[in-house]
Structure 1
């Protein structure tokens, strides 16, 4: 884990994202983004795209292969599907972040929980709403691919399976990353009410940006 020396009062932008809400915006090369877990054990499902061409996007496969680790933390370099460096995690007080668990959707609600949970709000709904309300970013349904689950604890079992466990974050924990190219950031602050990792109580996160 690594702390940051950036001061919140010096941030050029700050915004609280309520549970179940989304954020979409541009981060310029050289700027630093912090995602702050305000109340603890909240999952921020995040996608990154090249601002110049959204068909170039964050790639879990390329990132995992190049760093030789399925988890993200300070020092991790997020890479695109063209294997170009996209962002570098420069500070992290949580410890690790999930690259494999994916985002909740109506389909996964059905499989993981029950048919009656199918229509409960999910992260993919938030992303689809974001791109529909902000066509200026040029992102569409086909661009919604694998994501990062910041603050989420998804251990890999000895047999290669995944389990969704209690969170390892806490109030005030954060992850911070520096943009290595101009990127579009798309976050769904997870609304999931059926996963015990957040105590069945989704909570807000805050984003901060420094120039």
Structure 2
């Protein structure tokens, strides 16, 4: 399923950081948890029309799921597929818990700013995403519901969210196959429900490679009928 080709771009995203890149169709982006316990809060936009962005409700309801993993697709609000999950070593990607904000981080771990702590400051996911999307002329109104890669949040019998500690192990990878040119925006700030006593600085490796051609038996294409329609929407959008 995942790409076996040599990466054409690699980098490491430190903990409490943010990153973005426009990735062309036909490439994979592989994220690897370096130490275990990482979190990546991720958003997707169409760089040619930034009003088109990741739509969490459509992604979940059309695939009849609360979580995402291998075989699932990530939909835009235009019914197209930004990317397919072709590998997920963790088996569960959180889709509903959003990101931390300044108040939550300060209340849990205290306040530490960049001016005094430099790279050991305790950034929050909301502000980190705002800084990154501002590079493309976007702002608060453009932050949609995000994914939290490497994090698992289930529910108990009463419907309360339960954060799964130790869900992602060192070396676990999640690989996305990009199905249309996509602006990927992310932050490596901790998950808002992370109960760690100390602010977790967890790095993630990134590798971009050329993707293998999708075949008729592709697991993402065939995991549900709606995905077939989503790929057809992409074909019509991308036709020359």
5+ residue gaps, structure 1: none
- Write out per-residue CA displacement over residues 134-164 of structure 1, whole angstroms, 9 at most, x where no aligned residue: 2xx3432211121000001211223333122
- Is the CA contact 2:25–2:181 (under 8 Å) kept in the aligned structure 1? yes
- Is the CA contact 1:153–1:165 (under 8 Å) kept in the aligned structure 2? yes
Pick one of 129, 132, 135 that aligns with 1:127.
129
Match of 1:17 in 2: 13
- Is the CA contact 2:42–2:184 (under 8 Å) kept in the aligned structure 1? yes
What's the CA shift for 1:199? Answer: 6.9
5+ residue gaps, structure 2: 114-121, 211-240
SS in 1 for 2:10: strand
Matched, 1:174 2:173: yes
- Write out per-residue CA displacement over residues 80-117 of structure 1, whole angstroms, 9 at most, x where no aligned residue: 1222222100111111110011111124446x748x66
The alignment of Structure 1 onto Structure 2 pairs a total of residues equal to: 202
Say which one has the larger Rg.
2
Question: Aligned equivalents of 1:60 and 1:150: distance in 2?
Answer: 14
What's the CA shift for 1:172? Answer: 0.6
Superposed CA RMSD in Å reads: 2.5
Please list, as runs of the form range in 1=range in 2, the aligned pairs for 1:63-74 lying within 5 A after superposition: 63-74=59-70
Match of 2:2 in 1: 4
Please list, as runs of the form range in 1=range in 2, the aligned pairs for 1:157-172 lying within 5 A after superposition: 157-172=156-171
- Is the CA contact 1:42–1:152 (under 8 Å) kept in the aligned structure 2? yes
